[in-house]
Amino acid sequence: MNIAGKLNIDDLPQICPTLSRKAKKRYAEGETRVVQVLEVCFGADQPVVIAGPCAVESRKQTLEVAFAVKLAGAHMLRGGAYKPRTAPHDFQGLGLEGLKILREAREETGLPVVTEVMDPRLVEQVANYADMLQVGSRNMQNYPLLTEVGRCGKPVLLKRGMAASLCEWLGAAEYIASQGNLDIVLCERGIKAFACGEYSRNVLDLNVIHAVKQETFLPIIVDPSHATGVSAMVEPASRAAIEFGAQGLIIEVAAARAGAERPKCDAAQAISPETLANIVEFIKARAAYRAGKGQAQVSSPATPQALAMTGAM
């Protein structure tokens, strides 16, 4: 049957002539483009860990979390200055003030910053403060925004739309690439399915990691925070994503000290810096195991699972 708008994975070389592995033989089979954000490399040997608050709420909160995630071993800082909220009455982010706080956190910790841009008119402003621009799930098919971030000269973290097929997702990436910007990192953040909201926020589609690697040379990372919406699921989801070949993680973290304020956004999915440290140790242990180094150099705190895998337990 002929259906208007039907997308087929075999059509990807036509949909994405720049990014399809099959259309352009820019990269060898299995090889990933390395996307560099300052000294951080996505798609190289080690998975990249991005962590930080859901939203930049204050200078104090952001600096505290930024130092905590750095100490836990994160490579980059996340935090929303412009927040896509379901209701217009909810906290929308601090805007430009939030960007300035992120810049200070970056200067203080040395961690490169990724933050979301939602409005094509604000791309230049956000690019002046951030090292990497995030296009969120809700905006994956905002084509004027994709075109603008394609022109901004900064690497882009492109989240998968919550109901986007692989063809739609890679088509969105092609909009950025067609402006001459191939520094794109894809991010799986959970998709809508019948079970959403019953026991988790979204359904983490780990299978797509394999498919992405088959179809394109762009690196892919996973957001276990928005994929699950449940803090207790974030660590196991992170481990599973790494096992599936994710080239990084982006994780929401909140200060765990007694008396710390509860985050205004997504508090139920925020993990503690200590749990983040466990995830980082798992990644290191797994990488050492994969490299065939035998017993990994694991410093405390390490998960029993990570130690078991390295043969240290």
Residues of this chain that interact with Mn ion (CB under 5 A) are 54, 266
Residue 21 binds: one of ligand PEP, Mn ion, none (C-beta under 5 to 8 A by kind): none
Q: Which 3-state string (H, E, C) describes 218-278?
A: CCEEECHHHHHCCHHHHHHHHHHHHHCCCCEEEEEECCCCCCCCCCCCCHHHCECHHHHHH
Q: How many Cβ atoms are within 10 Å of 245's Cβ, its own excluded? A: 14
Task: Quote the least distance from Cβ 174 to ligand PEP, whole Å.
Answer: 19
Q: Residue 104: in which H helix or E strand, if any?
A: helix 96-109
Residue 84 binds: one of ligand PEP, Mn ion, none (C-beta under 5 to 8 A by kind): ligand PEP
Task: Quote the least distance from Cβ 234 to Mn ion, whole Å.
Answer: 12
Nearer to ligand PEP, 228 or 310 (CB): 228
Task: Quote the least distance from Cβ 135 to Mn ion, whole Å.
Answer: 15
Residue 215 binds: one of ligand PEP, Mn ion, none (C-beta under 5 to 8 A by kind): none
Could you tell me if 245 and 212 are in contact, meaning their C-beta atoms sit under 8 angstroms apart?
Answer: no
Three-state SS for 159?
A: strand
Could you tell me if 151 and 189 are in contact, meaning their C-beta atoms sit under 8 angstroms apart?
Answer: no
Task: Quote the least distance from Cβ 263 to Mn ion, whole Å.
Answer: 9
Question: Which of these, 115, 113, 164, 170, lies nearest to 138 by C-alpha position?
Answer: 164
Residue given tokens 């969120």 in the structure block: 136
Task: Quote the least distance from Cβ 137 to ligand PEP, whole Å.
Answer: 4
Position with the least CB separation from ligand PEP: 136
Residue 57 binds: one of Mn ion, ligand PEP, none (C-beta under 5 to 8 A by kind): none
Nearer to ligand PEP, 43 or 136 (CB): 136
The tokens of 20 are what?
Answer: 């399809």
Contact positions vs ligand PEP (CB under 6 A): 54, 80, 84, 116, 136-138, 159, 189, 223, 226
Residue 70 binds: one of ligand PEP, Mn ion, none (C-beta under 5 to 8 A by kind): none
